Amino acid sequence: MADIQTSASDKKEKEYFTHLPQEAPGFFLKGSHQYDWGLKNRLSRVFNPKDGRTVMLAFDHGYFQGPTTGLERVDQTILPLEPYADCLMLTRGIQRSVIPASTTKAIALRASGGTSMISPMEEWEGELDGKKLKLSRPGFEPLSNESTALTIEEAIRLNASILAVQVFVGSAYERQSLKNMTDLVDAASRYGIGVMGVVAVGRAMARNAQYFRLATRIMAELGANVVKCYYLEEGFDTITSCCPVPIVIAGGKKLPELDALKMCFNAINEGANGVDMGRNIFQSDAPVAMMRAVQGVVHGGLNPKKAFEMYNDLKSDKKKAKK
């Protein structure tokens, strides 16, 4: 009964601010203004509300390729980078075994899998006109034959902000991977958890703007809250422009540091809401310096030249400190 006033002298006058209508502000993140509170809050942990951008550190590669170069010992190579990331993209196995539960970083949890880089190709062997033939079926790429790889209860236990699922548009397993994504969207949206559809590229899938527009838009239409895609020199702005939800870029294969920083800068200028990078950070000669330089581009407004100077300064400071 805390609200019953007992006398006129009782503390402060009530103020109803009747002259000020309650604001109904938009939300800082593209396409996300009509979500429920919990999902908006989780997305605000992944994307910085000050600029709507994110630096996600991706180190989930082991889910299909085992101890990837730079990830042989995640405790040694990734933990020093954790303070500079907005969000950690990882598998549940690494989260439980290596990442301290005291981390305050958002979690992007890998939620699809089930194949490996040595899964057998689908092949046909037989005879035609008396000749022995061995054919592999285009589009039946072993890696694309994924399932969902965790339950929603597990995602809640691990306090995931967003679930990552690979989608193989154009492969023979396109339908299955899209179903993996929509199943996860249905489950995750019940609890206000986001889903990030990851555009997979394979031999049957062209790496061009037309393909990426198609794949990213299909994922957004089918409910992905965020889409992860590769950067392209040609037409990347058309991909971000016709995708109604935020796009973050994967880094791809290791590039020279200046080129990777240019890629981040161009992607942001052409409408990406951030990066979800792995190899270009943890395979760098100076991963912490690279991580901080990427932060400088994404959140600090640095151009690639300035960011590269920062990288070199931090790298040489570390060398000096070692001497």
Smaller CB distance to ligand 5RP: residue 40 or 178? 178
Catalytic residue among 228, 253, 320, 322: 228
Q: Does residue 274 contact residue 298 with C-beta atoms inside 8 Å?
A: yes
d(CA 227, CA 242): 12
Please state the closest distance from residue 121 (CB atom) to ligand 5RP, in A: 19
DSSP string, 51-78: TTBEEEEE--THHHHSS-TT-TTHHHHT
Angle at the Cα of 276 (from 80 to 194), degrees rounded to 5?
A: 110
The strand pair at 112-113 and 147-148 is best described as: antiparallel
Smaller CB distance to ligand 5RP: residue 43 or 55? 55
Smaller CB distance to ligand 5RP: residue 35 or 277? 277
Smaller CB distance to ligand 5RP: residue 164 or 302? 164
Residues lying near ligand 5RP in the complex (CB under 6 A):
58, 60-61, 89, 166, 198, 250-252, 277-280
d(CA 111, CA 189): 14
320 carries an active-site annotation: no
AA identity, residue 117: M
Please state the closest distance from residue 306 (CB atom) to ligand 5RP, in A: 22
Q: Does residue 259 contact residue 233 with C-beta atoms inside 8 Å?
A: no
Instruction: Give me the active site residues, please.
Output: 228
